[in-house]
Amino acid sequence: MELAIKAEKLNKSYRNFQAVNNLSFTVNRGDVYGFLGQNGAGKSTTIRMLLSLISPDNGSVAYWGKSLHDHRIETLSGIGAIIEKPDLYKYLSAEDNLRIFARMNGMKLTDKEVLFHLDRVGLADRKKSNVGSFSQGMKQRLGIAVSLVHDPKIIILDEPTNGLDPQGIADMRNLILSLNKDHGKTIVVSSHLLNEIEMVANRMIIIHKGSSVVEGKVSELLDPAQTLVKLNTINPEKTSSVLERFTAMVSFTFAEDHFRLIMNRNRVPELIQHLVSEDISILSVQPKHSLEDYFIQLTQND
């Protein structure tokens, strides 16, 4: 699988606040990659580093195998993005906005091209309407049309459903899926809403306090058969060594004073038996129902 984006050991601090902490992840060609975390988890800071709007304290970003630091103009020319709300000219029409932003990219759009871009985001019938008359959802869709005028391979969307009504959220969801499936775009979409990520993404990462908690295929991470198990033992170093040899897991991490395991709920008795056989002193084993429970737990944990 060809790597579209590779982020390695990104760190970013603001005075005494660590916004992003040793964060690594990969986005494959053709992914809709969900970037999930509660508000303040470090999503926007990471995306700004991906777009070279801010520089990491250390770590690296590469697009298609080329360093963003060493090939900034070349790599960014293949990316379209919306950070927060799109900045549009509200007294101008949709088509005029599109033409202006195209000229900023050194392009002159034909009438056919304008119609194509607006039709792709469901706004062809409103091309003559002033943007000031648009709903927030329509402005978001026009913003995406603007970000696509230079035909980027990668689209990065930061909380694209924020402030939208239910219809606007559904429209945005369908647009993301269409851009991916019908137009072959690789998309990174950040959100604090698990259900939105579940409906559009094929791969995802959950970050908390600037660090990765879990990354993988959505179909596996959100499989009802996959359960979060919170494990507390007296001897964590030995436990970690034992868990590395226990194959009935998707992943495990250690946070604060306990292990977090993602595994099949039916294998929990086998896990306990295995730990006991290895002389691990177990203090508690707490299975949760799903990754959604896990995410809720994270978002409520300050």
What strands lie across the sheet with 226-233, from one edge to the other?
Answer: 251-255, 258-264, 226-233, 282-287
Reply yes or no on whether the pLDDT at 139 is more than 60. yes
The reply to whether 183 and 240 lie within a common domain is no
pLDDT band at 299 (very low <50, low <70, confident <90, very high): low
Reply yes or no on whether the pLDDT at 302 is more than 60. no
Reply yes or no on whether the pLDDT at 127 is more than 80. yes
Q: Of the candidates 189, 212, 235, which is a domain's last residue?
A: 212
The reply to whether 108 and 148 lie within a common domain is yes
The reply to whether 39 and 100 lie within a common domain is yes
Reply yes or no on whether the pLDDT at 47 is more than 80. yes
Q: Is residue 229 part of a domain?
A: yes
**Contact at 8 Å (CB) between 161 and 171?**
no
- List pLDDT tens digits, range 274-297: 999 999 999 999 887 556 666 766
Q: What is the CATH number of the domain that holds 268?
A: 3.30.70.980
- List pLDDT tens digits, range 174-191: 999 999 999 999 999 999
Amino acid letter, residue 249: M
The reply to whether 134 and 264 lie within a common domain is no
> What does DSSP assign to residue 150?
T
The reply to whether 113 and 245 lie within a common domain is no
Domain span holding position 229:
223-299
- CA atoms of 168 and 136, how far apart (whole Å): 8
The reply to whether 63 and 194 lie within a common domain is yes
Q: Is residue 217 part of a domain?
A: no
The reply to whether 122 and 238 lie within a common domain is no
Alpha-carbon distances, residue 228 vs 15, 106, 218 (angstroms): 34, 50, 15
Q: Is residue 218 part of a domain?
A: no
The reply to whether 166 and 291 lie within a common domain is no
| Model-wide pTM > 0.75 | yes
Q: What is the CATH number of the domain that holds 191?
A: 3.40.50.300
The reply to whether 207 and 149 lie within a common domain is yes
Q: Is residue 43 part of a domain?
A: yes
- Residue 78, judged by CB atoms within 10 A of its CB (0-12, 13-18, 19+), counts as middle
Among 2, 45, 46, CA closest to 27: 2
Q: Is residue 13 part of a domain?
A: yes
Q: What total of structural domains would you count in the chain?
A: 2
What's residue 290's pLDDT? Answer: 58
Q: Can you tell me the mean pLDDT for 21-30?
A: 96
